[in-house]
Amino acid sequence: MEYANHLKEYAAAPSETQVAEEVAHLKSAAKGNENIDVYKFCYSTIDLTTLSCNDSEESVTKFAKRAVEFYNAYPDIPNVASICVYPSFVETVGLAVDGSPMRITSVAGAFPASQSFVEVKALEVAMAIENGADEIDIVLNPGMMIAGHDDEAASEVEFLREEAKDVVLKVIIESGALKNPELIRRASLVAMFAGADFIKTSTGKIDVAATPEAAFIMCHAIKDYYNLTGRKVGFKAAGGVKTPEDAALYYTIVEEILGKEWLTTDLFRIGASSAANNLISAIEDKDIKYF
């Protein structure tokens, strides 16, 4: 499908100065959300992630079982939304979490660079789902977007959307590679046009990961898209979200721009690993290294 003319229906992105001014306001507002209730909710939105070259069947099994044990270890804290792994470990996680309500997320589609044949990407998505993935995170090709090939990038997402039509599809725009507000906004809209259930900031595999500035632009794109189409798309911050204060800031950005109706695990996620321990520690008011 061609989207160039469709993009003209949407306002241009704010300037970098406007973004900086608004984010400064949001950072101030976030102080009011640095409390246990917000931290508990933020913990429940985490896609608990292990995407390391050192991952093995043994390490991933241990990781997943530890996440499932959290239900009994901390019954007063809602557990994480899902466990996120490479496609080859989806079945491993499935065996470890069997009998629990834990969901399984898999990165796929030539993650993290999105540089492969679309047929290879589609096969990887299909195999991850066949092995038990409930949710799939793919990357909108950054090189295509930077070069101005919006429709080609969107077509790939549409193709993978067909493979993932029965699961939640999160599309990573790799905002740190796109850099400027207009390109971040265009990528956000293109991903939504192509069928994303969530748009996600980052892979966490390049120097610049999630930033509040990118989140601000992306959430406004979601709001504008919803106002024109009536379809709600979720937001996921990932990469570099480490502290409870980081989590509260992204919570605040979503709350202020999209409203409290977006503050559910169906529409807001945090991709993290170290943030989990830090949020538990803040909730329990003592240093805890659970994972």
From the CB of residue 18, how many other CB atoms can be counted at a distance below 10 Å?
12
Alpha-carbon distance of 28 to 42, in angstroms, equals 18
Closest CA to 161 of 196, 204, 185: 196
Other C-beta atoms within 10 Å of 30: how many? 22
Strand pairing report for 234-238 and 268-272? parallel
List the structure tokens of 290. Answer: 């659970």
Say whether 166 is catalytic: no
| Contact indicator for 19, 213 with CB cutoff of 8 Å | yes
Catalytic annotation on 137? yes
Residue 200 annotated to the active site: yes
Helix, strand, coil tally for the chain in percent (to 5): 55, 10, 35
Is the backbone peptide bond immediately before 112 cis, with ω within 30 degrees of 0? yes
- Of 121, 170, 197, 236, which one is the catalytic site residue? 236
Please pick, among 137, 150, 197, 246, the residue that the annotation labels catalytic: 137
CA 153, 239, 168, 264 torsion-angle sign: negative
- Catalytic pick among 47, 121, 200, 246: 200
Residues 6+ apart with CB under 8 A from 259: none
**CA angle 61-243-92, nearest 5°?**
10
Q: So which residues are the catalytic ones?
A: 137, 200, 236
